[in-house]
Structure 1
Amino acid sequence: MMVYLLKSSFCLMILFGIYKLFLEREKMPVFNRFYLLSALLFSLLVPLIAYDIFINAPPVSQPDPIRFKSIYSGFARNFSALPVETSASITSFLAVFYSVVSAVLMGRFLRNLAVLIKRIKHSPKRPLEGATLVSGLGPNLPYTFLHYIFVDQKAFQNPNLEPELLTHELAHVRQKHSFDLLLVELLLVFMWFNPLIIWLRKAIQLNHEFLADDAVNKHHQQVSRYQQLILSKVSGLPPALLTSSLTFQITKQRFLMMTKKTSRTKARIIQLSVLALSPILAFVFSAKTAAQVNKPKFTKPSVKAYLQPDQSKEELYKDVPVLFGWGYPKEGRKPKKYSELTQEEKKLVKIIPPDPKKSPTELQFEEWKNPNIFGIWLNGKRIKNEQLNKYSPTDIASFWGSYVHKNARRFGEHHYQFELMTNEYYAAYLKDYEKSPIMIIDRPIKN
C-alpha cells in the first residue's frame, strides 16, 4: 500500500508540475480541463497496472524431467532476503486514525451536500434557459451547483439580471463543472493526506472560471465591460473577504487570461508534447513483475537424487506402480506394478525422495499473496491468495513451485505456481509416501 501511495503521489506531482509550468498560463482551457482530470485519474490508476520485465537469468538448478511433480527451481526472483518485521500496534493505530479522519470528512461532505439540497428544496425557484434559478442568501452569490444557479433575492426578483453574469453561470451548468468538483471532493475524503489533490482542486476551480469567462466573452464580446462588472461584484463583498489575497489573485488571473492569446500551432505543440509523456510515466510508475525468459534445459538427473528400494519391503511395494523414464521407447513406458517387474528390472528401480521439510521465509510468504504473480495450491487444493492471511510461515511444513510458461497459462493468470503443505497434511503425506512412494526405472537413451 505504501509503495502504491508513493508512486501515485510522485506521478501526480510530476503531472501537476507540468501543468503549472507549461499549461496554466496558456489559453486552452478545454484541454486543461481534460488534462487536470486525466492527471488525477492517471496517477491513481497507473500504479495498479502490472506488466512483465523479462530478464536473462540462468536457472538456479536443473529440473527433473522424470519426477511425478515437475519442480522448477530456477526462478528469477530472489527469496533470500531477510524477513521484514512490522509493528502490528502501529499499523492498527494508523488504520484506525485513517478511518476516523475519512469518516469525519465523509460526514462533512454529506452534510454540505444535504445543506445544498435542503436550500434548493425550500427556496423559491424558476426555470431559466435550461437551468434553474434559486433564490438564496449571502454576499458570495451567484454560484452554481449541478443545474441550479443560486442568486440573491434582489437578483432573483429582478428580470434584468446582468446578462454577462447569467452567461457565466449558465456556462458552469452546461459544461457540468459541478461533476468535476464532486469527484475531487469525494477523492479527498479518502486521500485527505495528499496536499497535491487540494492544489489540483484549486487549479480545476480556476480553470472552470477561465472556461466560463471564455463563454461570456465569445457571446457578448465586451471584455472591458465584463471586467468592470466583475470588479464591481468583488468590491461589493464584505470587508473580511476583501482582506483575502486569494480573491484578488484569482480575479487578476482571470483578467490576464481574458486578454491572453495562444496560437493554434503553439497549443498543438504543447498538447502533443504533454500527451507524449503519458506512456513514459505509465512505464515508470506502473507495477513491474520480473520473469525469467530462458527456458529450463532438461538434463538427466543425478543418481544421487534417488533412493534404492528397501528389499525387505517388497511385500509392501508389490502394488506400487513403477514409472518408466524417457530412456525407454514410447510404447514401453506403460507403468507396471512392482510385483510384475523382472529381477533385472527391479535392480534398476529407484525411489524419488519425498518433498523435504522446509518452511518459507516471511518475505516469500508475503509475496505469495500476490495473485498477479503466484498461483497457490494448499494441501492439494487451489485457493485464493488472500486465504494465506489465515496462516503464518511456520504453519507450512513443505512447499515447491514452478514457473508457468506463457503457452501453458491463460491470459492474465499467474506466472508461478506453488504447492504448500501444512504441518498436519505433511505428516499424513509422509505416512502415505512410505507405503506408496514414487518409483521409476530410468536408463540412457540408446543411439
Structure 2
Amino acid sequence: MITYLLKSGLLLAVFYAVYRLLLENEKMFRFNRVYLIGSLIFSLVIPLQLFSIASFFPSKIKTIQLDEIMIVSNQSILKEVSYNEIVYFFLGAIYVLIATILLIRFAINVSSFFLKMKKNSVQFIDNQKLVLMKESILPHSFWNAIFISKEDFANGKIPSELIAHEKAHLQQKHTLDILFVEVLQIVFWFNPMFVLFEKAIKLNHEFLADEAVNKQFDEVKSYQNLLLQFASNKQTVSLASTINYQITKKRLLMMTKEKSPFLMILKASCVVAVSVVLLIAFNSEAVAQSSDNLTTKKDNYINYIEASVKKPQFPGGIEKFYMFVGQNFKMPEEFSKQKIEGKLFIEFMVEKDGSLSEFKIVKDLGYGAGEEAIRILKLSPKWIPATENGQAVRVLYSLPITLQSEK
C-alpha cells in the first residue's frame, strides 16, 4: 500500500508540474480539462499494474529477488513489532475518522443544493432551470440548476452574461468534475496534490465558461468590466461553479490572449510523450538479480525481454507469503542454543501449475536452519503461476531470511 501511495503521489506531482509549465497559460481549455481529469485517473490506476508493458530496452533475463524476511526469538524485538502494530492501528483509526468526517461534510453539501431546490421557487427560462433564492447571493450553478437571488432577478440586476456563464458550466457538466475530485479528496485526504488539482480544474472551468460567453456576446471588454464589478464579493459556495471563483489578472488576460496553433500542437505532443514514458516506467515488470541459469528458452523459463509478462502471485499477495513463512518457521533448538545470527538464502521454482519445486539452499547457517526454511516452502499453497504472452511459465525466486536467536 505504501509503495502504491508513493507511486501515485509521484505521478500526480509530475503531471501537475507538466500542467503548470506547459498547459496552464495556453488557450487549449478542453484539452486541459481532459488532461487534468485524465492525470488523476492515470495516477491512481497505473501503479496498480493491472497490465504490464515490457521495457523497450534490451536486458538480461532475470530472477525475482524477494524482500528479506526477519525471524527472531528475541522478546524485545517482538515487543517492538507489537508496538509498531499498535501505531499502525492508531494511524488507521485516524485515517478512517477524518475520511468519515469529510464524507459527512460532502453529503451535507450535496444534499443542501437539492433542499434549496425544494424550498425555493423555480422558474424555467429558455429551458434552463433557475432557483430563486430568498437571500442575496452570487449566481452559481450545480448539477442542472442555476441559483440566483430572487430580488435581484425581479429587479433586473442579473446580467444575461452571468446567466450564460453559469449555463455554460451546466452544459459542459463541470459539476461532475468537481464531485469526482471531491470524492478523491475524501479517500486521499492526506495528499495535498488533490487540492492543487481541484483548484486547477475549477479555474479551467472558468476559462471554459468565459470562452462560451464571449463567443455568444462577442463583447470581451464589456464582459471583463462586468466581472470586475463582482470581484469585491468574496462569497463562495462549496461544490458550486460560481462567477466569483478566482477572478485574477490571469483569467482576464486569458480572454484576449492569442492562440498559437503550432505551440499548442508542440506542447500537446510533449504531454503525450511524457505520459507514454510514465506509462512505461511505472507499469513495466520490475525484477532484480540477473541469473545465468535462466538463459535457456526451451525450458520455458520466463524471458523478461518479451511483452505481456505477469509475475507469479501468492494467494492474497506477497505480504501474505512473508507472513506465512514467518508464522510457520520454527527456530531449530540447536540453532537457538548456539545463539547464532545471520542470513540464509533459499531458491525455489514456481512451476506452471503454481506449485513450488527445485528447492535449493544457496547459503546456510547450519544447525538445520536451511532445512527448516525448505520445510516451510513445501507447505506453501499453490501460487497463481506467471504468464508470458498468455502462456504459463516457470519462474525462479531467491528468498533471503535473516535469523536472530535470543541472547
- State the TM-score, normalizing by the size of structure 1: 0.62
- Name the CA shift for 1:155/1:413 in 2 (closer, same or farther; >3 Å): farther
SS state of the match for residue 288, structure 1?
A: coil
> For residue 31 of structure 1, what is the amino acid of its counterpart?
F
Q: How does 1:103-182 map to 2 (within 5 A)?
A: 103-158=100-155, 161-182=158-179
Shift of 1:284: 2.0
1:47 maps onto 2:47 in alignment: yes
- Asked whether the equivalents of residues 106 and 189 of structure 1 are also in contact (C-alpha less than 8 Å), the reply is yes
CA distance in 1, matches of 2:141, 2:70: 55
Contact 2:185/2:194 (8 A) holds in 1: yes
* 1:402 partnered with 2:350: yes
Q: By how many angstroms is 1:118 displaced? A: 0.9
Residue of structure 1 equivalent to 2:3: 3
Q: For 1:19-418, list aligned pairs within 5 A.
A: 19-49=19-49, 50-51=51-52, 56-57=60-61, 76-79=63-66, 81-83=68-70, 87-158=84-155, 161-235=158-232, 250-286=247-283, 288-290=285-287, 294-295=295-296, 373-376=311-314, 391-395=324-328, 401-404=349-352, 411=390, 416=395
How many residues were matched structurally? Answer: 315
Residues 143 and 150 in structure 1, CA contact (< 8 A), matched pair in contact too: yes
**CA–CA distance in 1 between the matches of 2:112 and 2:182?**
16
What letter corresponds to residue 10 of structure 2 in structure 1?
A: F
Shift of 1:28: 1.2
Greater Cα radius of gyration, structure 1 or 2: 1
Change (3 A) 1:40 1:412: farther
2:386 and 2:196 mapped to 1: Cα distance? 47
Deviation larger for 17-26 or 157-166 = 157-166
Deviates more, 1:33-42 or 1:158-167: 158-167
CA RMSD of aligned residues (A): 3.5
Q: What's the CA shift for 1:114?
A: 1.4
Question: Is the alpha carbon distance of 1:208 and 1:249 closer, same or farther for their aligned partners in structure 2, counting shifts above 3 Å?
Answer: closer
Instruction: Describe the shift of the 1:26–1:391 C-alpha distance in structure 2 as closer, same or farther (beyond 3 A).
Output: same
Identity rate of aligned residues, in percent?
32
Question: 217-226 vs 45-54, which deviates more?
Answer: 45-54
Question: Counterpart in 1 of 2:333?
Answer: none
Does the C-alpha gap of structure 1 residues 204 and 158 become closer, same or farther in structure 2, counting only changes over 3 Å? Answer: same
Conservation of the 8 A alpha-carbon contact between 2:165 and 2:212: yes
* CA distance 1:273–1:409, change in 2 (3 Å): closer
Q: Contact 2:64 / 2:396 at 8 angstroms: preserved in 1?
A: no
Deviation at 1:235, TM superposition (A): 3.7
Q: Distance in 1 between matches of 2:277 and 2:223?
A: 43
Q: 2:161, 2:213 within 8 Å by CA — same for their partners in 1?
A: yes
1:193 Cα deviation after fit: 0.7
- Distance in 2, matches of 1:140 and 1:160, equals 12
Q: How far is the alpha carbon of 1:14 from its aligned partner?
A: 1.0
Instruction: Tell me which amino acid in the other structure corresponds to 1:229.
Output: L
CA deviations over 1:270-299 (Å, ceiling 9, x no partner): 11221121110112223624387623788x
Residue type matched to 2:106 in 1?
Answer: F
**Cα offsets for 1:309-355 (capped at 9, x unmatched):** xxxxxxxxxxxxxxxxxxxxxxxxxxxxxxxxxxxxxxxxxxxxxxx
Task: Return closer, same or farther for 1:79/1:93 CA change in 2, 3 Å cut-off.
Answer: same
> Which residue in 2 is equivalent to 1:345?
none
Task: Report the equivalent of 2:356.
Answer: none
Mapped partners of 2:323, 2:329: distance in 1: 12
What is the DSSP-based 3-state SS (H/G/I as helix, E as strand, rest coil) of the residue aligned with 1:149?
A: strand
Q: For residues 283 and 408 of structure 1, what CA distance do their matches in structure 2 show? A: 19
Unaligned runs of 5+ in 2: 72-79, 236-243, 300-309, 331-345, 354-384, 398-407
Opposite residue 35 of structure 1, the aligned amino acid is: Y
Question: What SS does the corresponding residue of 2:168 show, helix, strand or coil?
Answer: helix
Instruction: Measure, in 2, the Cα distance between the counterparts of 1:212 and 1:394.
Output: 60
- Structure 1 residues 138 and 44 mapped into 2: Cα distance closer, same or farther (>3 Å)? farther
Q: What is the rounded CA distance, in whole Å, between the counterparts of 1:390 and 1:222 in structure 2?
A: 68
Structure 2 counterpart of 1:373, one-letter code: K
Are the equivalent residues in 1 in contact too, given 2:65–2:287 (CA < 8 A)? no
Q: Is the 8 A contact 1:373 1:414 kept in 2?
A: no
| Range that drifts further, 142-151 or 91-100 | 91-100
Cα offsets for 1:233-286 (capped at 9, x unmatched): 224568xxxxxxxx7963322211111112222211111221121110112223
Alpha carbons of 1:182 and 1:79: their partners in 2 closer, same or farther (altered >3 Å)? Answer: closer
Q: Is the 8 A contact 1:374 1:414 kept in 2?
A: no
For residue 228 of structure 1, what is the amino acid of its counterpart? N
Deviations 1:100-144 (A, max 9, x none): 111111011011111111111211111233431001255542001
Distance of 2:209 and 2:20 partners within structure 1: 20
Q: Distance in 2 between matches of 1:412 and 1:141?
A: 62
SS in 1 for 2:65: coil
